[in-house]
Homo-oligomer: A and B are copies of this chain.
């Protein structure tokens, strides 16, 4: 994969920005309760590809959104994502010790602290979406709160996790696997894109529908590629335990359709995502580049 130099520097600048926003919105490590605040910072800061924030920024560019606003919305999504990783890694879930190249939160701190870190990060996400002015109309901003709440909840990400739990050791059909991943990963990725978009000018329903198609394709493609990387990557490259899906006997795209077909499916989703962006011109440049980046990435 050849990443255009200009895209690389865009990614870098947005990663720097989201890091700085997260650094600011997380409570300082010396504020009581200190250990909890330190653990929250550990779970969120200084690691992660920040794919969801990048998508939010790219969508914000399409709708002409103020970058400060998108930064806060992106931070809210990243708090939800970070909380889900902390809870996923707990002994009663995936029981993992390595995340983003470092000990997982409950290993570095302890289990009860990690539980509270996740809980408090979720609250923080909704605090961010309500504390700052992110949309011109407060009513529109309330819709943003609802969008994230639904994406995170029992009919979104948490629901996807529950389906994941139930499916261990089972062979899923393709539609079942897709249903699981649309919830588990897709919902939050879609929320990142739609929240970034909603920080800017309102789009008509047709345009919104196209971005939503892009978002759904990318959300699913991200997971398909994740499955391929989990099966083929090394722990060192991934920064998390590789081969975990097979070891835990979890149905994945790779276990269901094999590596070659999974790659082809991801490529198909990438092309669908790009097709949905036709007609948006330069405003959709970063969304296009991110579609390439997400599907063609090696880590």
A92 touches B120 (CB 8 A): no
**How far is it, in angstroms, between the C-alpha of A124 and the C-alpha of B149 when the chains are bound?**
7
B146 touches A131 (CB 8 A): yes
Stretch in contact with the other chain, from A158-166, A217-225, A285-293: A158-166
**0/1 interface trace, chain A 122-142, chain B, CB 8 Å (1 if under):** 111011011100000111011
**Which residues of chain A from 1 to 58 have a CB within 8 Å of any chain B CB?**
27, 31-33, 35-37, 40
Assess whether A113 is interfacial by the CB under 8 Å rule: yes
Residues of chain B within 8 A (CB-CB) of A40 are 154
**How far is it, in angstroms, between the C-alpha of A31 and the C-alpha of B143 when the chains are bound?**
23
Please name the residue on chain B nearest to A183 by beta carbon.
B33
- Count residues of chain A with CB under 8 A from any CB of chain B: 55
**Which residues of chain A from 97 to 125 have a CB within 8 Å of any chain B CB?**
111-113, 115-116, 118-120, 122-124
Given A142-B138, A146-B130, A146-B131, answer yes or no on A32-B120 (Cβ-Cβ < 8 Å). no
Residue among A27, A113, A155 having the largest count of chain B Cβ atoms under 10 Å: A155
B126 touches A37 (CB 8 A): no
B149 touches A130 (CB 8 A): yes
A124 touches B153 (CB 8 A): yes
Residues of chain B within 8 A (CB-CB) of A129 are 145
Assess whether A150 is interfacial by the CB under 8 Å rule: yes
**How far is it, in angstroms, between the C-alpha of A153 and the C-alpha of B123 when the chains are bound?**
5
**How far is it, in angstroms, between the C-alpha of A270 and the C-alpha of B35 when the chains are bound?**
34
Please name the residue on chain B nearest to A37 by beta carbon.
B154
Assess whether A93 is interfacial by the CB under 8 Å rule: yes
B116 touches A92 (CB 8 A): no
Assess whether A273 is interfacial by the CB under 8 Å rule: no
Identify which of B32, B143, B166 contacts A130 (C-beta below 8 A). B143
**How far is it, in angstroms, between the C-alpha of A150 and the C-alpha of B162 when the chains are bound?**
27
Assess whether A152 is interfacial by the CB under 8 Å rule: yes
A154 touches B92 (CB 8 A): no
Identify which of B37, B116, B154 contacts A124 (C-beta below 8 A). B154
CB distance from A234 to the nearest CB of B (A): 28
Q: What are the nearest 3 A-B pairs in CB distance?
A: A123-B153, A127-B149, A36-B162
